[in-house]
Amino acid sequence: MRSILVTGASRGIGLSIARRLAAGGDRVIAVARKRGAELDDAIAAAAATSGEIGFKAFDLSEVGAIPAFVKELRGEFGPIFGLVNNAGIGTEGLLATMHNSQIEALVRLNVLSPIILTKYVARQMMADRAGRIINMSSIIATTGYRGLSVYGATKAAAAGFTRSLAREVGQLGITVNAIAPGFIETELTGNLSEGDRERIAGRSALRRLATPDDVAATVEFLLGEGGTNITGAVQVIDAGNTA
Partner 1 sequence: MSIRLKIISEMQQIAREQNITLPPLDDDLPLQSTSLDSLGFAILVARLEDELGRDPFTIADEAAFPLTIGDFVRAYENVPA
Interface residues toward ligand NAP, by CB under 6 A: 8-14, 32-34, 59-61, 86-90, 109, 136, 138, 181, 183-184, 186-189
Q: How far apart are CA 40 and CA 24, in angstroms?
A: 18
Q: List the single partner that 136 binds among ligand NAP, partner 1, none, CB under 5 to 8 Å by kind.
A: ligand NAP
Indicate whether 124 belongs to the interface with partner 1 (CB under 8 A).
yes
Residue 6 backbone phi and psi in degrees, to 5: -120, 115
Residue from 34, 99, 123, 208 in contact with partner 1 (CB under 8 A):
123
Residue-by-residue DSSP string for 11-76: SHHHHHHHHHHHHTTPEEEEEES--HHHHHHHHHHHTTSSSEEEEEE--TT-GGGHHHHHHHHHHH
Q: How far apart are CA 202 and CA 14, in angstroms?
A: 26
Indicate whether 127 belongs to the interface with partner 1 (CB under 8 A).
yes
Q: Which of 151, 166, 227, 238 is catalytic?
A: 151
Site for partner 1 in 51-90 (CB under 8 A): 67
Residue 120 falls in the annotated catalytic set? no
Q: Shortest approach of partner 1 to residue 86 CB, angstroms?
A: 24
Q: List the single partner that 14 binds among partner 1, ligand NAP, none, CB under 5 to 8 Å by kind.
A: ligand NAP
List CB contacts of 28: < 8 A, sequence separation 6 or more: 3, 4, 6, 9, 17, 18, 21, 22, 46, 51, 52, 53, 54
Q: Where are the beta strands (DSSP E) in the chain?
A: 3-7, 27-32, 52-57, 82-85, 131-136, 174-181, 234-237
Site for partner 1 in 198-227 (CB under 8 A): none
**What is the total count of residues that contact partner 1 (CB under 8 A)?**
8
Q: Shortest approach of partner 1 to residue 64 CB, angstroms?
A: 10
Indicate whether 172 belongs to the interface with partner 1 (CB under 8 A).
yes
Of 43 and 70, CB closest to partner 1: 70
Question: Which spans of this chain sit near partner 1 (rule: CB under 8 A)?
Answer: 67, 123-124, 126-127, 168, 171-172
- Which residues are annotated as catalytic? 151
